Amino acid sequence: MSARLVNAAARKLEAVDAQVRALAQSRAVGRLIKQVFASLLRNIDERMQPFGLTAMQWEPLMLIHFERADTVAALARESQVGCGSMTRMLDRLERKALLRRRRSSVDRRVVHLELTAKGKKVVAAILPLVVGELDQHLQDFSASDVNRLTQLLQRMLENGSRPAHASRSHD
């Protein structure tokens, strides 16, 4: 075997090795993001038990409170669940007297969701618990660390919303 062939084979092996390392690293990042999210949900779920709420139930209450969504379709989109599942979950929240449905005065086909007085009290009680859990996960992070993490996650979201062929590099 000539030295040229050996060198070419070595370069190809190095390239393949670099690709394998990059794949392993990206999988590790994805796994870590998934694990952090699962840890947050699990811990917040534990904190919601005294209120009789699950992860599926406290999130829509917060979204309605912060005016991020006020219809079934908007809540389903924000929570990334189907409209049917969201409707059933909202039925449970309505039975618990935490929210009410109100038909739009502009378009009778649209049903808006609003928190009841009891729902507002529950949100006021659970908001510090949710923030506290996030703070626990960010313990020992500097303000600069949190800002950088936020920027990186935002960039990941932006990259994910772009077609694959339109990706760009960041320094």
- The pLDDT tens digits of the residues spanning 98-124 come to 999 999 888 888 889 999 999 999 999
User: Can you give the pLDDT at residue 17?
Assistant: 66
Whole-prediction pTM value? 0.72
User: Can you give the pLDDT at residue 170?
Assistant: 54
Averaged pLDDT of the chain: 87
User: Are residues 60 and 73 in contact, defined by beta-carbon separation less than 8 angstroms?
Assistant: no
Q: Map out the domains of the chain with their CATH numbers.
A: 3-156 (1.10.10.10)
User: Can you give the pLDDT at residue 127?
Assistant: 95
Collapsed DSSP state (helix, strand, coil) of residue 60: helix
Share of residues in the chain with pLDDT > 70 (%):
84
Q: What CA dihedral angle connects 5, 10, 13 and 14, to 10 degrees?
A: -140
Is the pLDDT assigned to residue 65 strictly greater than 70?
A: yes
User: Can you give the pLDDT at residue 24?
Assistant: 62
Is the pLDDT assigned to residue 171 strictly greater than 60?
A: no
Tell me the pLDDT band of 83, cut-offs 50, 70 and 90.
very high
Share of residues in the chain with pLDDT > 90 (%):
64
User: Are residues 96 and 116 in contact, defined by beta-carbon separation less than 8 angstroms?
Assistant: no
Collapsed DSSP state (helix, strand, coil) of residue 114: strand
Per-residue pLDDT tens over the stretch 21-52:
665 666 788 889 999 999 999 999 999 999 99
For residues 46 and 53, give the distance between their C-alpha atoms in angstroms, rounded to a whole number. 9
* 97, two tokens: 């007297």
Per-residue pLDDT tens over the stretch 122-168:
999 999 999 999 999 999 999 999 999 999 999 999 999 888 765 55
